[in-house]
C-alpha cells in the first residue's frame, strides 16, 4: 500500500473509533490467524457482582470484606459492595497481602484468613457439600471465591460478570472469516468454558497466572499470526508479544500503551472491522 493508502486506512479507522498506531500494525492485522481474548473486561462487562453467599452469610461476608478492603481487584469491589448493601461491618485485619492470580490473605482476630480461588484454598479443609456447590456455581458461569479461616473453608462467594451484548456477534464475525478464537484467563476452567460457550469461543485456556499470559500467546504463534485483545495491567506483556495487540479503550493506561490498536468504543465487533479495514487497504487493486 502507498503511504497515502495507509493514511486513508488509519484515518478511516480513527473515524470509527479504531485507533491504529501505525501502518505496520494495519498491515499485520491482515495476516492474523488466531484472535486471543482476555475474559474479564474484554469479553465480559467487567463489573462483577455477588450472586450467592454460601455458608453463614454474615460471617462469610464480614471476613471477606475485611480482607478485600485492601485489594483493588474487581472481585474485591463486588464483595465490598455486597457487604455494604447487607450492612455488614468488615472486621479489622493485619498482615494483609495479595497473592497474584490467586487472592488475598491476612490475619483476622489472631487467625489466618484467606479469600481466593481453589489454588489459594488448596491446603484447607472443604466439606464435600461446599465442594459440590462450588462446582455447580462454576458450571453456571459464576466465579467462586473461597473464604477460609484457620484451616477451614467457612463459605463461598459466587460472582457473576455478564458477557457484553456484542461479544457473541464479534466472535461469530471473526469465525466467519475463518479465524480461530481463544479465551485466555486467570479464572477457573469451568467458569471460563461456560462463558466461552455463551459467546461461541472455540478454545479456552484457563487458570493462567498473570505472568504466563504472554507465554501462551507465544505458543499460539506457532500456528500463525496472533492478535491479543485485553484491558488489564496484567495483559500488557501479552499485548506486546502478540503480532497485533488490541487494547480496550476502557482498559488501564498500561494496556492502552502496549496495544498497537485501541478500541475507543469498547465494542469487540471492532476487531473484525479493523480486519476488514486492513483487507481493504492492502488488497486494493492498483
Ligand atoms: P482475570 O484473568 O480474570 O483478570 P486474575 O489473574 O486477576 O483473573 O485472578 C485469577 C483468579 O484469582 C480470580 O478469578 C480469583 O479466583 C482469584 N483472585 C485474584 N484476586 C482476588 C481477590 N482480591 N479476591 C478474591 N479472589 C481473587
Ligand atoms: Mg481483563
Evaluate: CB of 76 within 6 angstroms of ligand 1.
yes
pTM assigned to the model: 0.91
The alpha carbon of 131 and the centre of ligand 2 are apart by a number of angstroms equal to: 27
Number of H helices, E strands in the chain: 11, 13
For residue 44, CA distances in Å to 134, 141, 152 come to 21, 11, 32
From the CB of 263, is ligand 1 less than 6 Å away?
A: no
Per-residue pLDDT of the chain (286 residues; tens, 9 = 90+): 788 989 999 999 999 999 999 999 999 999 999 999 999 999 999 999 999 999 999 999 999 999 999 998 899 999 999 999 999 998 889 999 999 889 999 999 899 999 999 999 999 999 999 999 999 999 999 999 999 999 999 999 999 999 999 999 999 999 999 999 999 999 999 999 999 999 999 999 999 998 999 999 999 999 999 999 999 989 999 999 999 999 999 999 999 999 999 999 999 999 999 999 999 998 854 4
**Residue to mutate (ligand 1; options 72, 143, 145; most atoms within 8 A of CB):** 145
Query: What ipTM, to 2 d.p.?
Result: 0.94
Nearest CA to ligand 1 atom 20: 103
Number of CB atoms found within 10 A of residue 71's CB: 19
- The DSSP bridge pattern shows strands 32-38 and 225-230 to be parallel
Write down the pLDDT at residue 108. 93
Q: Which residues are catalytic?
A: 38
pLDDT (0 to 100) of residue 72: 86
Dist. CA 158–CA 141, nearest whole Å: 10
Residue 286 confidence (pLDDT): 45
- Domains of the chain are 3-45+163-282 (3.40.50.1000), 49-160 (3.40.1110.10)
Amino acid at each position: 500500500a502507498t503511504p497515502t493508502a495507509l493514511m486513508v486506512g488509519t484515518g478511516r479507522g480513527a473515524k470509527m473509533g479504531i485507533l491504529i498506531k501505525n501502518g505496520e500494525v494495519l498491515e499485520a492485522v491482515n495476516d492474523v490467524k488466531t484472535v486471543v481474548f482476555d475474559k474479564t473486561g474484554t469479553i465480559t462487562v467487567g463489573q462483577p457482582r455477588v450472586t450467592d453467599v454460601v455458608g453463614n452469610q454474615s460471617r462469610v461476608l464480614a471476613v471477606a470484606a475485611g480482607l478485600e478492603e485492601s485489594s483493588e481487584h474487581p472481585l474485591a469491589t463486588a464483595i465490598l459492595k455486597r457487604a455494604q448493601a447487607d450492612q455488614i461491618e468488615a472486621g479489622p485485619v493485619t498482615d494483609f497481602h495479595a497473592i497474584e492470580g490467586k487472592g488475598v490473605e491476612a490475619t483476622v482476630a489472631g487467625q489466618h484468613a484467606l479469600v481466593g480461588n481453589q489454588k489459594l484454598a488448596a491446603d484447607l479443609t472443604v466439606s464435600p457439600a461446599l465442594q459440590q456447590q462450588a462446582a455447580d456455581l462454576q458450571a453456571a458461569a459464576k466465579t467462586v471465591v473461597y473464604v477460609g479461616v484457620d484451616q477451614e473453608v467457612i463459605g463461598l462467594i459466587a460472582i457473576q460478570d455478564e458477557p457484553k451484548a456484542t461479544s457473541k456477534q464479534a466472535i461469530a464475525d471473526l469465525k466467519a472469516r475463518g479465524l480461530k478464537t481463544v479465551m485466555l484467563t486467570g479464572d477457573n476452567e469451568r467458569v471460563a468454558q461456560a462463558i466461552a460457550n455463551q459467546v461461541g469461543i472455540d478454545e479456552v485456556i484457563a487458570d493462567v497466572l498473570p505472568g504466563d499470559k504472554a507465554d501462551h500467546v507465544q505458543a499460539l504463534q506457532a500456528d500463525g499470526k496472533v492478535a491479543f485483545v485485553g484491558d488489564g495491567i496484567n495483559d500488557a506483556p501479552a499485548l506486546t508479544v502478540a503480532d497485533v495487540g488490541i487494547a480496550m479503550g476502557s482498559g488501564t493506561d498500561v494496556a492502552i500503551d502496549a496495544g498497537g490498536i485501541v478500541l475507543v468504543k469498547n465494542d469487540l465487533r471492532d476487531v473484525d472491522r479493523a480486519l476488514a479495514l486492513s483487507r481493504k487497504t492492502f488488497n486494493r487493486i492498483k
